Amino acid sequence: MNAAGPLRRARAGLPGLIVLVALAAGLAALVIVAAGGHPPASQAQQVQQIAAGLHCPICKDLSVADSPAPLAQQMRQEIARKLRAGESADQIRARFVAAYGDSVLMSPPRQGVAGAVYYLPWLILAAGLITAFALLRRWLRAPPPGPLQTSPQQASPQTGPPQTGPPQAGPPRASPRTGPPQAGPPQAGPPRASPRTGPPQAGPPAGPPQADPPQLSAAQRRAVARALARLRAEEPG
């Protein structure tokens, strides 16, 4: 193992490098597209853009651009006429608002009470993320439940000592457990017919390497890997 050290380390680092490069390439493409800007819109496209922001007055949900109604068609013609006369998009919209009220706009004006609808989604997302972070932090700090969390057929751990978890401070990741780590599903369903090669405690845990991994022979490691593979295939998700 030591002889192939540097090469192994380089190969181990390769997936990370690939992911990094791919990520960078994707983001670069995104940035280029975002910075790319649009060609100047033709008049037909401008009419479409303005019409897409107006609510067809006689339809229920459609914009003036999407609506097949004759009134919507005439609104589009009016927009085209006003654009040819040199009016700006804002002026044209203001005309329709003067006749129909604010409800003719597909999105509410940014001022006033209605304008709150533009920043409230961000508040909601922020509130959700903050709650989630607080919750995760609390769960990360909480002591892990003792070795009693395994399925009933594994008799020994249930009589073991409770709560030999780590102290509250610091990350609880490196906690030496006295029970079998959860390499398999603790689903308390009817016992599965597939024989387990005993409690799978000798296998490498799914977390970061523990303080003192037990030394195993190659054959033992292979047997353990097979058992783990079998268990993973059984994972009900």
Partner 1 sequence: MSQLGTYLLLFGLVVSGYGLLAAAVGAKTGRPALVESARRCAFGLFATVAAACATMLAALLSNDFAIRYVAENSARETPAFFKALSLWAADDGSLLLWNLILAGYIAAVALRFRRDRSPTFPYALSVLFGVQVFYLVLINGPARPFASLANPPADGRGPAPLLQNHPLMAVHPPFLYLGFIGFTVPFAFGMAALLAGQGSDQWVSVIRRWALVVWCFLTVGLLLGALWSYSVLGWGGYWAWDPVENVALLPWLVCTAFLHSVMLQERRGMARLWNIALVIGAFALTTFGTFLTRGNVLSSVHAFTQTSVGPAYLAFVALVLLAGFGLVAWRLPELRTPASLTSAISREGAFVANNVLLLAAAAIILLGTTFPLVVEAVSGQQVTIGGPYFRSSVTPVFLLILLLVGTAPLLPWRATNRSRALRRLRGPVTAAALVMIATAWAGVRQPAAVAGFGLATLVFVANGQELLSGLAIGRRALRGGAVRALARGRRRHAGLVVHLGLALVAAGIIASSSLGQQAQVTLKTGQSTVFAGQVLRYQGLHTDRQPQRIVLTATVSVTNPGGGTAGTLGPRMNLYPAATEPIGSPSIRRGIVWDLYASVISLQRGGGSATFRFYHNPGVNWLWVGGLVMALGGAAAAWPGRRRRDSGDDQGASAVRKRTTVEAGAR
Partner 2 sequence: MRRWIPRRRAGLLAGVVAGVAVVVVLLMTALGRDPSVIASPLVGRAAPNFTLPQLDGPPVTLAKLRGQVVVVNFWASWCAECQTEQAALDQTWRQFQDSGVVVIGINFEDSTGAARGYVRADDVRYPVVEDADSRTALAYGLRGVPETFVVNQSGRIVNRVIGPVDAATLATEINSMLATSAQ
For 206, left (φ over 0), alpha (ψ -120 to 50), or beta? alpha
Nearest C-alpha neighbor of 223 from the set 235, 213, 231, 233:
231
Q: Which stretch binds partner 1 (CB under 8 A): 30-38, 81-89, 195-203, 210-218?
A: 30-38
Least gap, CB of 102 to partner 2 (angstroms)? 8
Given 46, 62, 63, 78, the residue binding partner 2 (CB under 8 A): 78
The pair of three-digit structure tokens given for residue 28, joined into one six-digit string = 């670069």
Least gap, CB of 91 to partner 1 (angstroms)? 20
Which lies closer to partner 2 via its Cβ, residue 89 or residue 216?
89
- A 10 A CB-CB count for 51 gives 22
Radius of gyration, alpha carbons of the chain = 32
Given 5, 6, 40, 68, the residue binding partner 1 (CB under 8 A): 68
Which lies closer to partner 2 via its Cβ, residue 54 or residue 227?
54
Q: Which stretch binds partner 1 (CB under 8 A): 83-91, 142-150, 195-203, 215-223?
A: 142-150
Map tokens 């249930």 to a residue. Answer: 158
Interaction pattern, residues 91-120, with partner 2; x per rule: CB under 8 A: -----xxxxxx-xx----------------
Interaction pattern, residues 31-50, with partner 1; x per rule: CB under 8 A: -xxx-x-x------------
Whether 192 contacts 234, CB under 8 Å: yes
- Binding partner of residue 98 among partner 1, partner 2, none, CB cut-off 5 to 8 Å per kind: partner 2
Q: Which stretch binds partner 2 (CB under 8 A): 90-98, 121-129, 152-160, 215-223?
A: 90-98
Q: Which stretch binds partner 2 (CB under 8 A): 69-77, 190-198, 209-217, 221-229?
A: 69-77
The pair of three-digit structure tokens given for residue 6, joined into one six-digit string = 């540097």
Helices (H), 5-112: 5-36, 43-52, 70-84, 89-100
Strand partners, 55: 63
Cα 47 from chain centre? 37
